């Protein structure tokens, strides 16, 4: 990891830059695949599965028999862990339900909102080396609580045309309607445009590699909504001399093993903690099965020594991390001053892993600095709020003259007339 001591504030922006990729060629490749899926539907999807996932599929949809087989193949211990996490996620997200409240702004003028579920949502779950069944829970659970009528899921199959059993088990218990064996750009295209087999959805959720991310961004321009802009995963740890270097190193590495382009930062006021953490990272790294991936991530990760906690907090808010872990003596006080972060973990016994799996909060979060403007996935992500207003004859007489004046000054005479005809009506 790169060690930086006492950087000047004018160096922070360069210091806190994320890893970047040349996306010009990537975007063109994604555009071509999306166009094929749009025009050729299932045929293009099957061809892409053969090309990219190395499997020729006769049936894109997971069958009831495959769900039954997956349940048998999932261990009792893993089922119990999934159900514990599911219950906590349900509890946390159920508490976010919106309550309608009618407001009388003036006598005869009543306004209110109603929460309505997005009817059709699509969830993308990456495959690759890590079967992210936890993400199934994070996305399907709030969708079910919200009342989405159709929850479809796409995830890449292995070369035998199978989906990891834990993904299918999680999909079943979390309320997914249908699961399709489709990965990558072709999955995003199928959900965005619809095919003979895959229904078109109104909003797409879920993480993915740089190709999936580019595909989501492209289809969001005119065809379908998406959860949020996405980039490589990241963590910042804010720590002082009271932090446990073994814990801090473990937290940095748990992020680093996500992918080669992930980023881990330690921002600390303690020279001793910085040095001990650097040593612990090297020691723990050697035991990781994903050592090679984590090592690549650590090449652009940083250990930063700052003068005091005030400066550390300013740097954290400038970075706007997806995950922020605060391991300091006064973590509760510092937490109140955090304004830019996706999810915050407080104290020595609140690792990022807790939120990734089972504490109940959602782990689908804004990355790449988007925490300055975006929230993580929540129940609100799966609903729309429709406004209503009811104006009585008394109400129109009260607010009508003001509306006439405003409309006239915007040169919108038809708007004004819609009020005038009501004010002059003799009935």
CA distance 270 to 61: 54
Per the annotation, where are the binding residues?
124, 186, 209, 233, 255, 258, 323, 356, 410, 415
CA distance 209 to 18: 16
CA distance 93 to 100: 17
> Does 323 participate in catalysis according to the annotation?
yes
Asked if 125 and 188 touch (Cβ cutoff 8 Å), the reply is: no
DSSP-derived secondary structure for 297-325: HHHT-EEEE-SSHHHHHHHHHHH--SEEE
CA distance 207 to 184: 11
DSSP-derived secondary structure for 371-415: GGT-PPP-GGGGEEEEEEEEE-HHHHHHHHHHHHHHHHHTT-HHH
Query: Six-digit token pair at 178?
Result: 């249908």
Asked if 326 and 346 touch (Cβ cutoff 8 Å), the reply is: yes
CB atoms within 10 A of CB 142: 28
Q: In terms of Cα–Cα distance, which of 259, 253, 260, 264 is closest to 287?
A: 253
Per the annotation, where are the binding residues for Zn(2+)?
255, 258, 356, 415
Asked if 43 and 60 touch (Cβ cutoff 8 Å), the reply is: no
Q: In terms of Cα–Cα distance, which of 327, 322, 360 is closest to 346?
A: 327
Query: Six-digit token pair at 164?
Result: 């990891």
Per the annotation, where are the binding residues for substrate?
233, 255, 258, 323, 356, 410, 415
Q: Of 66, 322, 327, 352, which residue is the catalytic one?
A: 322
Residues 417, 419, 422, 424: what is their CA dihedral angle, to the nearest 10 degrees?
-70
Per the annotation, where are the binding residues for NAD(+)?
124, 186, 209
CA distance 51 to 37: 14
Chain centroid to Cα 206, Å, comes to 6
Q: Of 164, 300, 323, 363, which residue is the catalytic one?
A: 323
Chain centroid to Cα 273, Å, comes to 32
> Does 336 participate in catalysis according to the annotation?
no
Catalytic residue numbers? 322-323
């Amino acid at each position: 990891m790169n060690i930086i001591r006492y950087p000047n504030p004018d160096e922070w922006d360069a210091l806190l830059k994320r890893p970047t990729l040349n996306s010009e060629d990537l975007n063109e490749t994604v555009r071509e695949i999306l166009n094929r899926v749009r025009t050729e539907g299932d045929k293009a999807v099957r061809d892409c599965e053969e090309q990219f996932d190395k499997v020729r599929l006769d049936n894109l949809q997971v069958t009831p028999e495959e769900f039954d087989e997956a349940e048998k193949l999932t261990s009792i211990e893993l089922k119990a862990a999934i159900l514990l996490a599911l219950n906590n996620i349900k509890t946390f997200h159920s508490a976010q339900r919106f309550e309608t409240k009618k407001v009388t702004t003036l006598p005869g003028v009543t306004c209110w909102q109603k929460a309505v579920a997005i009817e059709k949502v699509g969830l993308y779950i990456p495959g690759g080396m890590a079967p992210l069944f936890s993400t199934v829970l994070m996305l399907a659970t709030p969708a079910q609580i919200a009342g989405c009528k159709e929850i479809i899921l796409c995830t890449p199959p292995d070369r035998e045309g199978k989906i990891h059993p834990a993904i299918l088990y999680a999909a079943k218990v979390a309320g997914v309607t249908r699961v399709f064996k489709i990965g990558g750009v072709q999955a995003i295209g199928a959900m965005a445009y619809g095919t003979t087999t895959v229904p078109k959805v109104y909003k797409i959720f879920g993480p993915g590699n740089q190709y999936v991310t580019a595909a989501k961004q492209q289809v969001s321009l005119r065809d379908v909504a998406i959860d949020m802009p996405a980039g490589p995963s990241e963590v910042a740890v804010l720590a002082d001399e009271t932090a446990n270097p073994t814990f801090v190193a473990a937290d940095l590495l748990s992020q680093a093993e996500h992918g080669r382009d992930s980023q881990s930062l330690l921002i600390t006021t303690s020279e001793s903690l910085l040095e001990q953490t650097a040593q612990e990272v090297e020691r723990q790294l050697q035991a990781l099965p994903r050592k090679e991936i984590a090592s690549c991530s650590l090449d652009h990760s940083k250990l930063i020594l700052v003068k005091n906690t005030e400066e550390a907090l300013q740097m954290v808010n400038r970075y706007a991390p997806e995950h922020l872990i605060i391991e300091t003596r006064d973590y509760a006080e510092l937490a109140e001053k955090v304004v830019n972060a996706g999810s915050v973990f407080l104290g020595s016994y609140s690792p990022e892993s807790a939120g990734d799996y089972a504490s109940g909060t959602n782990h689908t979060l804004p990355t790449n600095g988007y925490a300055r403007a975006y929230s993580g996935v929540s129940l609100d992500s799966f609903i729309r709020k429709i406004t209503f207003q009811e104006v009585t004859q008394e109400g129109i007489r009260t607010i009508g003259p003001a509306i006439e004046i405003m409309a006239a000054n915007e040169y919108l005479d038809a708007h004004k007339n819609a009020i005038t005809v009501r004010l002059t009506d003799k009935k």
